[in-house]
Structure 1
Amino acid sequence: MEILNQNQNQPEDPNKNFLHSTTARIVMVGVLTLVLLIPLQYVKNLIFDRSQLQRHTEETVSAQWGGNVYVYGPVLKIPYKNTKKNGAPAYAYFFPEKLDITANVVSESKRRNTYKSAVFNAGIKFSGNYTTPNFSKSGISPENIDWERATIQLNTGNLKGIKGAVAINFNGKRYNFEPASRENSNDSMVALETKTINLRDAFAGGVVNFSMDVSYNGTKRLAIVPIGKLTETQMISNWHKPLFGGNFMPEKESDTATGATACWKISHLNRPFAQQHFGSLPDLKAYSFNVDFIIPVNEYEQNERAAKYGFLVIGLTFLIFFLIQSMSRISIHIFQYIMIGLALIMFYTLLISITEHSSFRFAYIIAGLSVVAMITLYSISILKDRRFPMFIAAALTGLYTFIYVIIQLEEYALLAGSIGLFLILGAVMYFSRRIDWNK
């Protein structure tokens, strides 16, 4: 009897009580969440490696199909004798008085194994007119101008992407373009040039009209320099939501499910370069208006964005199980938390692997349903009550749906994410208010 009383009076081990306390459990769950960031990082690295292969495919297709398209023209090129350099040959360049451009852009996808790249074909029509080139302000004597040996240039940064022959109808006559060198050029553009034209005869009637068509294969960007004294451009594309940039934004633009259109109207007063240049052409790339045909969020970027929410998914799922454990007094072993965490990480490997053979939406639905079903069935055996697993299934479904919506949003992603996280925090505060942290 005396021994029994001594055992009853013996103080309990404080370390043993702490290990079974609510505080210890939440600390262990928090540490486990941080540990699971290691395999999650491996999954992120896998997604990054696959996205690099996708980028390499885009670069390969771009090199084979045709890269960014930069173009401006036509430009009159007139030789003259430079008396300041002992009569050395030089060239004067004149831009059109009126320039109308119509670009019809048709995009498509080129596939290499499981990777694809977006490309386009741009049919560009140039038309307009020239007035008689004026040398009066240059100090060049009329007898030093070689009107009979003038040519027309088309300047571009993508010779490889040009499809078919290129010719200009100038004053009712057809002239073919051939590759040529650019004298004293200050940029990386290359030139197509016609044979010599007698401008003295061409401008005998005053204004000269011209028209020409150019077909380009390109990727990502179409850039045009508005060299006309008045340049009016219309772009028609089957691409959904192209990005407009460069030195000028379109005056009008519309976007529908079937494509987009845009219009520019640019005067020579809107740009910092003149209508004529002597000696060489300046670098005009910085004064182009651009249309970018890129996928705002491609499938690999969507996978990367989904993986960034991995910590949130793991943390909130563990928090749900912890709240159930604390309020129902059901014991959940740390090993069971590990299994749940690994199932959550498997979602991202399923997502990236299925995405490469289908769409991101289909992959997200299949991966999400698979993981939710696995964790729900596993939690039935843990919690011994069907009410809690059904709540977990509903919570995980809502969480994955919420993340999918954020990934799809572009302009309102931050706003939706902030509101969603605020509501989740409020729900956690509401359900955790009854936890006795002293036990």
Structure 2
Amino acid sequence: METPEKQPATSFFQSNTAKMIMVGLLTLFLLIPLEFVKNLIAERSQRQEEVITEINDKWGESVFLYGPILKVPYTVYEETVSINEKTKETVKQRTAYTNFAYFFPEELKAKSNVTTKVLNRNNYESVVFSSKMAFEGNYIHPDFSSKEIANENIQWNKATIIIKTTNLKSIKDEVKINFGKANFTFEPVYDSTSKDSTEALETSYIDLNKILTEGKTAFRFEITYNGSQQIKMVPIGKTTQIHMESNWASPSFTGNFLPDDKTKQISATGFVANWKILHINRAFSQQTFDNLPDLRQYAFGVDFVIPVNQYQQNERASKYGFLVIGLTFLIFFLIQSISKIKIHIFQYSMIGLALIMFYTLLISITEHSSFMKAYIIAGIAVIALITLYSVAILKNRKFPLFIAASLSSLYTFLYVIIQLENYALLVGSIGLFAILAAVMYFSRTIDWNSSNS
């Protein structure tokens, strides 16, 4: 009687389970060089910020201003009572000191024409602008009745007009104001009472008795800045109307108030925006005493920045690195399981390193070109490399062509996600669901209990 021949026992290390574990561990190991790539992107991005700061500091920083503000001094008397210990008599002393009242315009209109351009230094660029602003409006006669200040205590002949602003060093022309048909020149002054980071421009003394009329007293002035990144203003008029136009096609409206949607226009050649803000829209009155409050929280304006710079796009691309490596290894593992072709763990490692090289190629080429061109060049280079390598290890053309098509689809899908903002999560979720469905379909006939022979 013949004894049936025993089948050789299958080694665990030759099973699909062991190969899946090794491929999974390799995928996790490749996160180390991928993290180095992310650090490289962060380092280059930080260097860009340093260069942009240096460029902006030389050209002109962000612009923030509000004014004009009528500053009127007044005399306040304070009485102190003391007792002479020797004579026991009561002694009264009257001390006078000067305080200030600040009055905002009844009407304030401003027209701003902003011309932007991009300055380049080495591989980095920054958006800067030149802004010409024209202001006009009027004042009503200052009212001190709320503080019960007598008219004889008001120093009408020592009033001044101030403008609170930043970026004084980048004002390009002399700033003069026509107030009540008289011209006054602004000079920079140190304001020790300022509660914010602004600086001040102030006129010489104005005799309001000669300037103010019974009704409204008009004013107008112009100011020209070189600046960068942002323009913000505070609506200090009882009625404030701002008109701004620029050649910048990607404005980001910021601050406490947005422009009127009905008149706002944004096109490839620039934008036009209008604001109309009433005093009831913000929580401060038309006059204040003693000190000016910090009004920065009520500011509004426009950001002139590149919406998504090259390093932000590279950073977003690198975040999908683990997904690209995992899906690529999954494709090779399914081909190996279906075709019974042996793929060594070293060959998986070479494929993984080629996928990592995509990101180093992407960031290095992006610094000398656009992100789209860099993505196409890096993608074609890596897909071609992995496809040619697949021809050698898979010994046919059918599977390498499938791999090339799969990688092309994957990189195209990721590029679409990177460009999207509002719909990135939705499109990504739908895409990953479709990939999962495809993997489940192609792996349905695999015998996971067998080993490759």
User: Any conservation in 1 of the 2:159–2:207 contact (CA below 8 Å)?
Assistant: yes
In the alignment, what sits opposite 2:354? 343
Q: How far has the Cα of 1:168 moved from its partner?
A: 1.2
CA distance, structure 2, for counterparts of residue 341 and residue 120 of structure 1: 45
In the alignment, what sits opposite 1:250? 259
User: Any conservation in 1 of the 2:141–2:214 contact (CA below 8 Å)?
Assistant: no
Q: How far has the Cα of 1:101 moved from its partner?
A: 1.4
In the alignment, what sits opposite 1:72? 66
Question: Counterpart of 1:374 in 2: which secondary structure?
Answer: helix
CA distance, structure 1, for counterparts of residue 430 and residue 249 of structure 2: 29
User: Any conservation in 2 of the 1:94–1:133 contact (CA below 8 Å)?
Assistant: yes
In the alignment, what sits opposite 2:30? 36
Question: Counterpart of 2:26 in 1: which secondary structure?
Answer: helix
In the alignment, what sits opposite 1:12? 8
In the alignment, what sits opposite 1:428? 439
Mapping for residues 114-153 of structure 1, pairs under 5 Å = 114-153=123-162
Matching of residue 355 in structure 1 with residue 355 in structure 2: no
In the alignment, what sits opposite 2:328? 317
Matching of residue 22 in structure 1 with residue 16 in structure 2: yes
Question: Counterpart of 2:444 in 1: which secondary structure?
Answer: helix
Matching of residue 270 in structure 1 with residue 281 in structure 2: yes
CA distance, structure 2, for counterparts of residue 304 and residue 386 of structure 1: 35
User: Any conservation in 2 of the 1:230–1:266 contact (CA below 8 Å)?
Assistant: yes
User: Any conservation in 2 of the 1:103–1:124 contact (CA below 8 Å)?
Assistant: yes
Bigger helix share:
1
1:91-127 CA distance string (max 9 Å, x none): 2111100001122222222222212222222222211
Question: Counterpart of 2:148 in 1: which secondary structure?
Answer: coil
In the alignment, what sits opposite 1:385? 396
Paired amino acid for 1:219: S
User: Any conservation in 1 of the 2:75–2:98 contact (CA below 8 Å)?
Assistant: yes
Structure 1 residues 240-249 or 407-416, which shifts more?
A: 240-249
In the alignment, what sits opposite 2:198? 189
User: Any conservation in 2 of the 1:183–1:280 contact (CA below 8 Å)?
Assistant: no
User: Any conservation in 1 of the 2:107–2:239 contact (CA below 8 Å)?
Assistant: yes
1:46-99 CA distance string (max 9 Å, x none): 111111101111221222222221100001111221224732122211110000
Q: How far has the Cα of 1:205 moved from its partner?
A: 5.4
User: Any conservation in 2 of the 1:74–1:96 contact (CA below 8 Å)?
Assistant: yes
Paired amino acid for 2:44: R
Question: Counterpart of 1:226 in 2: which secondary structure?
Answer: coil
Q: How far has the Cα of 1:13 moved from its partner?
A: 4.1
CA distance, structure 2, for counterparts of residue 298 and residue 376 of structure 1: 31
CA distance, structure 2, for counterparts of residue 21 and residue 300 of structure 1: 43
Point out where structure 1 has 5 or more consecutive residues left out of the alignment: none
Matching of residue 88 in structure 1 with residue 82 in structure 2: no
User: Any conservation in 2 of the 1:236–1:262 contact (CA below 8 Å)?
Assistant: yes
Paired amino acid for 1:114: N
User: Any conservation in 2 of the 1:161–1:217 contact (CA below 8 Å)?
Assistant: yes
CA distance, structure 2, for counterparts of residue 438 and residue 381 of structure 1: 28
CA distance, structure 2, for counterparts of residue 83 and residue 419 of structure 1: 75
Q: How far has the Cα of 1:183 moved from its partner?
A: 5.3
Q: How far has the Cα of 1:245 moved from its partner?
A: 2.3
Residue 209 of structure 2: which of 200, 206, 211 is its match?
Answer: 200
CA distance, structure 2, for counterparts of residue 186 and residue 176 of structure 1: 25
1:290-323 CA distance string (max 9 Å, x none): 3222223210011011011111111111111111
In the alignment, what sits opposite 1:398? 409
Paired amino acid for 2:317: A
CA distance, structure 1, for counterparts of residue 192 and residue 332 of structure 2: 74
Paired amino acid for 2:425: L
Paired amino acid for 1:380: V
User: Any conservation in 2 of the 1:184–1:279 contact (CA below 8 Å)?
Assistant: no
CA distance, structure 1, for counterparts of residue 425 and residue 364 of structure 2: 27
1:128-171 CA distance string (max 9 Å, x none): 11111122222111111122221111111221232221111222
Residue 386 of structure 2: which of 375, 380, 384 is its match?
Answer: 375
Aligned residues: percent identity? Answer: 57
CA distance, structure 1, for counterparts of residue 256 and residue 314 of structure 2: 33
Residue 308 of structure 2: which of 289, 297, 306 is its match?
Answer: 297
Q: How many residues align?
A: 432
1:319-355 CA distance string (max 9 Å, x none): 1111111111111111111111111111001001111
1:29-49 CA distance string (max 9 Å, x none): 111111111111111111111
Residue 49 of structure 2: which of 52, 55, 61 is its match?
Answer: 55
User: Any conservation in 1 of the 2:417–2:428 contact (CA below 8 Å)?
Assistant: yes
Paired amino acid for 1:370: A
Paired amino acid for 2:52: E
TM-score normalized by the length of structure 2: 0.91
In the alignment, what sits opposite 1:216? 225
CA distance, structure 2, for counterparts of residue 323 and residue 295 of structure 1: 43
Paired amino acid for 1:135: F
Paired amino acid for 2:421: E
Matching of residue 168 in structure 1 with residue 177 in structure 2: yes
CA distance, structure 1, for counterparts of residue 36 and residue 222 of structure 2: 51
Point out where structure 2 has 5 or more consecutive residues left out of the alignment: 80-94
Q: Which segments of structure 1 move beyond 6 Å, counting only runs of 4 or more?
A: none
